[in-house]
Structure 1
Amino acid sequence: MQEYSGTIEFLDIEGGVWVLTLPSGQHYALFRAPKELLQEGLEVTIQGQLKEDMVTVAQVGPVLEVKSFRTQP
Protein backbone atom coordinates (compact mmCIF):
# COMPACT_ATOMS: atom_id res chain seq x y z
CA MET A 1 0.00 0.00 0.00
CA GLN A 2 1.10 3.54 -0.71
CA GLU A 3 0.09 7.01 0.47
CA TYR A 4 -1.19 9.75 -1.82
CA SER A 5 -1.91 13.32 -0.65
CA GLY A 6 -4.04 15.85 -2.47
CA THR A 7 -7.51 17.33 -2.93
CA ILE A 8 -10.79 15.52 -3.56
CA GLU A 9 -12.61 16.78 -6.66
CA PHE A 10 -15.69 15.83 -8.66
CA LEU A 11 -15.07 15.95 -12.41
CA ASP A 12 -18.16 16.20 -14.61
CA ILE A 13 -16.89 13.74 -17.22
CA GLU A 14 -18.93 10.79 -18.56
CA GLY A 15 -21.55 11.13 -15.82
CA GLY A 16 -19.09 12.28 -13.19
CA VAL A 17 -16.14 10.81 -11.36
CA TRP A 18 -14.57 11.48 -7.95
CA VAL A 19 -10.81 11.91 -8.08
CA LEU A 20 -7.84 12.67 -5.89
CA THR A 21 -5.83 15.47 -7.48
CA LEU A 22 -2.19 15.68 -6.43
CA PRO A 23 -0.32 19.01 -6.23
CA SER A 24 1.39 18.01 -9.51
CA GLY A 25 -2.02 17.92 -11.24
CA GLN A 26 -2.09 14.11 -11.55
CA HIS A 27 -5.59 12.65 -11.10
CA TYR A 28 -6.45 9.30 -9.54
CA ALA A 29 -9.96 7.90 -10.03
CA LEU A 30 -11.25 6.74 -6.64
CA PHE A 31 -12.47 3.17 -6.19
CA ARG A 32 -14.29 1.93 -3.07
CA ALA A 33 -14.18 5.39 -1.53
CA PRO A 34 -16.32 5.82 1.60
CA LYS A 35 -19.05 8.48 1.45
CA GLU A 36 -17.22 10.58 4.09
CA LEU A 37 -14.34 11.02 1.64
CA LEU A 38 -16.46 12.33 -1.24
CA GLN A 39 -16.43 16.04 -0.39
CA GLU A 40 -15.33 18.60 -2.97
CA GLY A 41 -12.17 20.42 -1.87
CA LEU A 42 -11.32 18.07 1.00
CA GLU A 43 -7.55 17.90 1.61
CA VAL A 44 -6.59 14.30 2.42
CA THR A 45 -3.94 11.63 2.55
CA ILE A 46 -5.18 8.31 1.21
CA GLN A 47 -3.65 4.92 1.85
CA GLY A 48 -4.47 2.69 -1.05
CA GLN A 49 -3.45 0.48 -3.88
CA LEU A 50 -3.29 1.24 -7.59
CA LYS A 51 -5.55 -1.06 -9.60
CA GLU A 52 -3.48 -1.47 -12.74
CA ASP A 53 -5.95 -4.02 -14.13
CA MET A 54 -8.86 -1.51 -14.04
CA VAL A 55 -9.94 1.39 -16.22
CA THR A 56 -12.89 3.77 -15.94
CA VAL A 57 -15.24 5.23 -18.53
CA ALA A 58 -13.97 8.72 -17.65
CA GLN A 59 -10.31 7.72 -18.21
CA VAL A 60 -9.02 10.53 -15.98
CA GLY A 61 -6.03 8.62 -14.65
CA PRO A 62 -5.03 5.50 -12.75
CA VAL A 63 -7.60 3.87 -10.47
CA LEU A 64 -6.82 4.12 -6.76
CA GLU A 65 -8.55 1.67 -4.41
CA VAL A 66 -9.04 3.47 -1.10
CA LYS A 67 -8.09 1.43 1.98
CA SER A 68 -8.12 4.32 4.50
CA PHE A 69 -7.79 8.10 4.60
CA ARG A 70 -7.16 10.99 6.93
CA THR A 71 -7.98 14.65 6.46
CA GLN A 72 -5.30 17.33 6.42
CA PRO A 73 -5.50 20.36 8.73
Structure 2
Amino acid sequence: MVSIKRLWLSSLIFIIHISCINTSDVYVCNSPNAQRYHLNVKCRGLSNCSYKTIKTTVQKAKKEGRTLCKWER
Protein backbone atom coordinates (compact mmCIF):
# COMPACT_ATOMS: atom_id res chain seq x y z
CA MET A 1 0.00 0.00 0.00
CA VAL A 2 2.88 2.35 0.74
CA SER A 3 4.27 1.96 -2.78
CA ILE A 4 0.91 2.99 -4.28
CA LYS A 5 0.94 6.14 -2.14
CA ARG A 6 4.49 6.92 -3.25
CA LEU A 7 3.57 6.39 -6.88
CA TRP A 8 0.54 8.63 -6.53
CA LEU A 9 2.56 11.34 -4.76
CA SER A 10 5.34 11.15 -7.34
CA SER A 11 2.81 11.47 -10.15
CA LEU A 12 1.22 14.48 -8.49
CA ILE A 13 4.58 16.21 -8.05
CA PHE A 14 5.47 15.49 -11.69
CA ILE A 15 2.18 16.98 -12.94
CA ILE A 16 2.67 20.10 -10.84
CA HIS A 17 6.23 20.46 -12.13
CA ILE A 18 5.14 20.13 -15.77
CA SER A 19 2.41 22.74 -15.33
CA CYS A 20 4.94 25.24 -13.94
CA ILE A 21 7.37 25.06 -16.87
CA ASN A 22 7.97 28.48 -18.41
CA THR A 23 5.99 28.75 -21.65
CA SER A 24 6.60 32.44 -22.21
CA ASP A 25 9.60 31.95 -24.52
CA VAL A 26 9.08 33.10 -28.11
CA TYR A 27 11.21 33.62 -31.20
CA VAL A 28 11.77 36.81 -33.17
CA CYS A 29 13.65 37.74 -36.32
CA ASN A 30 16.42 40.22 -35.46
CA SER A 31 15.54 42.33 -38.50
CA PRO A 32 14.82 46.03 -37.90
CA ASN A 33 11.58 45.61 -39.89
CA ALA A 34 10.29 42.46 -38.14
CA GLN A 35 6.95 43.04 -36.40
CA ARG A 36 5.91 39.58 -35.19
CA TYR A 37 6.90 37.06 -32.56
CA HIS A 38 6.57 33.30 -33.00
CA LEU A 39 5.73 30.50 -30.58
CA ASN A 40 7.54 27.89 -32.65
CA VAL A 41 11.04 28.34 -34.05
CA LYS A 42 9.92 26.43 -37.17
CA CYS A 43 6.93 28.73 -37.80
CA ARG A 44 6.13 29.36 -41.45
CA GLY A 45 6.24 33.13 -40.86
CA LEU A 46 9.71 32.95 -39.32
CA SER A 47 11.11 30.93 -42.21
CA ASN A 48 11.43 34.13 -44.29
CA CYS A 49 13.84 35.71 -41.80
CA SER A 50 17.25 36.31 -43.37
CA TYR A 51 18.61 37.70 -40.09
CA LYS A 52 19.43 35.85 -36.89
CA THR A 53 16.50 34.27 -35.00
CA ILE A 54 16.51 35.23 -31.32
CA LYS A 55 14.81 33.55 -28.37
CA THR A 56 13.15 36.06 -26.04
CA THR A 57 10.09 36.39 -23.80
CA VAL A 58 6.55 37.36 -24.75
CA GLN A 59 6.84 40.39 -22.48
CA LYS A 60 9.97 41.70 -24.22
CA ALA A 61 8.52 41.04 -27.68
CA LYS A 62 5.33 42.93 -26.82
CA LYS A 63 7.35 45.76 -25.27
CA GLU A 64 9.14 46.11 -28.62
CA GLY A 65 5.74 46.44 -30.32
CA ARG A 66 5.66 42.96 -31.82
CA THR A 67 2.45 40.95 -32.17
CA LEU A 68 1.77 37.24 -32.50
CA CYS A 69 2.37 35.82 -35.98
CA LYS A 70 -0.82 35.37 -37.98
CA TRP A 71 0.15 31.78 -38.82
CA GLU A 72 0.02 30.90 -35.11
CA ARG A 73 -3.32 32.43 -34.16
Relative to the length of structure 1, the TM-score reads: 0.27
Q: Identify, as 1 or 2, the structure richer in strand.
A: 1
Relative to the length of structure 2, the TM-score reads: 0.27
Structure exhibiting the larger radius of gyration computed from Cα positions: 2
